[in-house]
Structure 1
Amino acid sequence: MKSKELPLKGKHVLITRGGDQGEKFCMDVASMGGVPHMVPLIDFRAHHDQNASYFIKNMNQYEWIIFTSKNGVQYFFQQINDKIEEHILYKGNIQFAVVGEKTKEALRRYRLPSRFMPNVYTAEDFAREFFNQGLTGKKVLIPKGNLASNIIAESFRIRGFTADEWTVYETYYPTRETDKLILFLEEDMLDVAAFTSPSTFNHFLKIVDQHHLGPHAKKLLYAAIGTVTKRTIEQTGYTTHICPEKFTIDDMFNEICMFFNKQAKEGNVSNG
Structure 2
Amino acid sequence: MVPADKPLTGKTILVTREVSQAGALSRSLDERGATTVVCPLIGFSPRSDWAAVDRCLERLCEYDGLLFTSVNAVEFTFRRMEEQGIPLENARGITTYTVGPATAEALASWGVSVERLPDQYQAEGLASVLEQETVQGKRFLFPRARKAREWLPRFLEERGARVDLAVVYETRRADENAGLLREILGKEKLDYLAFTSSSTVSAFTALAGSGPTKEAWQKITAACIGEITAATARTEGFLQILTARSSTIPGLVKAIEDHVEGKG
Q: Same fold (TM over 0.5)?
A: yes
Determine helix, strand or coil for the equivalent of 2:255: helix
- Alignment partner of 1:60 is 2:61: yes
Offset, 1:24:
2.4
CA shift digits 1:8-38 (9 cap, x unpaired): 2221110001345311222222222221100
Offset, 1:140:
0.6
Maintained 8 Å contact 1:75/1:169: yes
Deviates more, 1:210-219 or 1:117-126: 210-219
Maintained 8 Å contact 2:99/2:125: no
- Letter in structure 2 aligned against 1:134: E
- Letter in structure 2 aligned against 1:104: A
Determine helix, strand or coil for the equivalent of 2:262: helix
- Alignment partner of 1:85 is 2:84: no
Q: Cα–Cα, structure 1 residues 76 and 211, in superposed 2: closer, same or farther, change >3 Å? A: farther
Offset, 1:117:
2.5
Distance 1:101 1:218 in 2: 32
Extract unaligned runs of 5+ from structure 2. Answer: none
Extract unaligned runs of 5+ from structure 1. Answer: 264-272
- Matched residue, 1:234: 234
Offset, 1:260:
1.0
Q: Cα–Cα, structure 1 residues 52 and 20, in superposed 2: closer, same or farther, change >3 Å? A: closer
Deviates more, 1:210-219 or 1:186-195: 210-219
Larger Rg: 1
CA shift digits 1:217-271 (9 cap, x unpaired): 12311100000000001123313432111101121112111211228xxxxxxxx
Determine helix, strand or coil for the equivalent of 1:185: helix
Distance 2:240 2:45 in 1: 29
- Letter in structure 2 aligned against 1:8: L
Q: Cα–Cα, structure 1 residues 86 and 237, in superposed 2: closer, same or farther, change >3 Å? A: closer
Q: Cα–Cα, structure 1 residues 209 and 89, in superposed 2: closer, same or farther, change >3 Å? A: same
| Alignment root-mean-square deviation, CA | 2.1
- Letter in structure 2 aligned against 1:60: C
Maintained 8 Å contact 1:99/1:126: yes
Q: Cα–Cα, structure 1 residues 28 and 153, in superposed 2: closer, same or farther, change >3 Å? A: same
Deviates more, 1:208-217 or 1:117-126: 208-217
Maintained 8 Å contact 1:188/1:216: no
Offset, 1:6:
2.0
TM-score (norm 2): 0.90
Maintained 8 Å contact 1:56/1:83: no
Offset, 1:78:
1.5
Maintained 8 Å contact 2:245/2:255: no
